[in-house]
Amino acid sequence: MERNNSASRSNFILVGFSDQPGLERILFVFILIFYLLTFMGNGTIILVSRLDPHLHTPMYFFLTHLSFIDLIHVTCVSPQMLVNLGGPDKSISFVGCVVQLLITLGLGGTECVLLAMMAYDRYVAVCQPLHYFTLMPPQLCWALASISWFLGFSNSLIHTPITMTLPRCGHHRINHFYCETPPVMELACVDTTNYKKEIMILSSIFLVFPLSLILFSYGRIARSVLSIKTSGGRQKALGTCGSHLTVVSIFYSTIIYVYVTPKSKLSHDMTKFVALLYNVIPSLINPIIYTLRNRDIKEAVRKMMMQKQRKQGHRFS
């Protein structure tokens, strides 16, 4: 009995929307559908980009990394959320909470930097089209992607141990649906003012510097596009950037709304609901945007489906 009591104290309770069981049932169906669609969408982009030789370009290399980030992020959050929404058990182990916090923080930082690297790729494609493959060799692409992953998880490896080792004085009820820094910090029974300042500074760096690089890249792109004489040339240049610019707009607008909007203006339930949308919606929308606006991916998917049909036809003939 002593061992069980000790084990239960090491767990956390994810409060989520447990006071609204009707809403939990609706959210369970909503999240399950979105998780399956997200898995299929991002998995398709990764598979197609790897199998089709025509898509072995810097743009699709970075897109594969973006889809992988979305896939891991939603897989890290959604299954635990479905378990908590689908039954009376709202607990998550200490180790599970650490892993969830480490991965979500790391992926969020990685995506911030990766979107900036993708903006640089689009700048080279539009402004230096004749030298694109010379200026963006595979070695550079791997280096830029590695820098994104390194910076994202370096930030996470700093914050996660500090957050999880703050004295909690027995508090274990997290007023959220997954382990995230602000609600976990609310359990601390010590002054966290200095730590919050450090988080704000590092978070600002991860938001401001990549966003500045994105704005600089698109400023150069806009100047280059305006110098193009023909409307067809302008549309082609903008077409190579439209999907990425849409994804950047969705990512930064949601992250600013969730983390920069003063919490005094939002109720706890509204904060959780917006955070829920932030964790589920972009991961689903990203592959849709790149698929609908991208002729190459649609053509690659069509070829794969036709090859599969031909193989099935030979098997039964």
Question: How much is the pLDDT for 284?
Answer: 85
Q: What digits encode the pLDDT tens for the residues 38-81?
A: 999 899 889 888 888 888 889 899 999 999 999 999 999 999 88
Number of domains in the chain: 1
Question: Is 125 inside a domain boundary?
Answer: yes
What are the CA-CA distances from residue 240 to residues 27, 227, 246 (Å)? 36, 16, 12
Q: What digits encode the pLDDT tens for the residues 201-221?
A: 887 888 889 999 999 999 988
Q: Would the pLDDT of 5 be above 60?
A: no
Question: How high is the mean pLDDT of the chain?
Answer: 83
Enclosing domain of residue 123: 9-306
d(CA 5, CA 3): 5
Q: What digits encode the pLDDT tens for the residues 85-135?
A: 888 888 899 999 999 999 999 999 999 999 999 999 999 988 888 899 999
Question: Is 2 inside a domain boundary?
Answer: no
Mean pLDDT of 136-164: 94
Crossing angle of helices 193-226/94-127, nearest 10°?
A: 20
Question: Is 315 inside a domain boundary?
Answer: no
Question: Is 4 inside a domain boundary?
Answer: no
Q: Would the pLDDT of 147 be above 60?
A: yes
Beta strands in 166-303 (DSSP E): 173-174
Any idea what the CATH number is for the domain that residue 290 is in? 1.20.1070.10
pTM, two decimals, is: 0.85
Residues, the chain: 317
Beta strands in 159-202 (DSSP E): 173-174
d(CA 296, CA 5): 57
Q: Would the pLDDT of 6 be above 50?
A: no
Question: Is 316 inside a domain boundary?
Answer: no
What are the CA-CA distances from residue 159 to residues 101, 193, 278, 281 (Å)? 9, 14, 21, 25
- Higher-pLDDT residue of 178, 303: 178
Q: Would the pLDDT of 228 be above 90?
A: no
Question: Is 95 inside a domain boundary?
Answer: yes
The pair of structure tokens assigned to 8 is 């239960």
Question: Is 1 inside a domain boundary?
Answer: no
